[in-house]
Amino acid sequence: MWIGGVLAALLVVDLALAGILYESAREAPQAMRMEAAKLKAQEKLYRADVARGQEIRDSLTEARKESDAFYDSTFPDAATGYSAVEGDLDSIAAKSGLANESVKFKQKDLKDHGVTEITISETVEGDYPSILHFIDGLERSKNFYLLRDLSLNSSSVAAGSGGIRLTLELQTYFRT
């Protein structure tokens, strides 16, 4: 009798396990479809990230070319830079009708940047409209100038006509 009870218990356990297997087998395709849809969405996001990364890589190449062109066309070579800048400043002053009193240079090497920083101190004298033309000429110059400091004083050169002495501190860079 106890053998019949054990067999009946095993039959109940078998039926319960068969029910569990049936339910899990019935839900498995639906769960697998949901997992596949989730994976496809992730794949789409990853592909978009890779495409964006490639776009950035491609634009860096173009940006590097533009940067090199700017560097070559804007910054004079260190070997000829001083004479080019001094000639440019003299030309701008002459076109503006100013007397160029002095130009001084101070050099600072910027290691690992491929440039030398040049600080230029310049003093010019003339009337107010000429000063404005001079500053406009600096802005329009093919050379790159950063205006760091500017001061105006009265001048004795053009005493009767409201002469002004303009002292500038500019920065520029030479290729090294």
Same domain, 70 and 85: no
Residue-level pLDDT at 148 = 93
Q: What token pair was written down for 77?
A: 């070579």
Same domain, 11 and 36: yes
Same domain, 69 and 10: yes
- The domain containing residue 168 runs over which residues? 78-175
Domain boundary among 74, 106, 138: 74
Residue-level pLDDT at 34 = 85
Contacts 24+ apart (CB under 8 A), 71-76: 71/114, 71/175, 72/175, 74/143, 74/144, 75/115, 75/144, 75/172, 75/173, 75/174, 75/175, 76/143, 76/174, 76/175
What's the average pLDDT block by block, 10 residues per block, for the chain (176 residues)?
75 78 70 85 92 89 86 83 90 90 88 86 91 93 91 70 85 89
The rounded distance, in Å, linking the Cα atoms of 136 and 96 is: 9
Q: Among residues 137, 144, 93, which one has the least CA distance to residue 115?
A: 144
Same domain, 152 and 115: yes
Report pTM: 0.60
Question: Max CA-CA distance within the chain?
Answer: 136
Same domain, 86 and 57: no
Looking at residue 124, what DSSP letter applies?
A: E
pLDDT digits (tens, 9 = 90+) for 42-79: 999 999 999 999 999 888 888 888 888 888 888 888 88
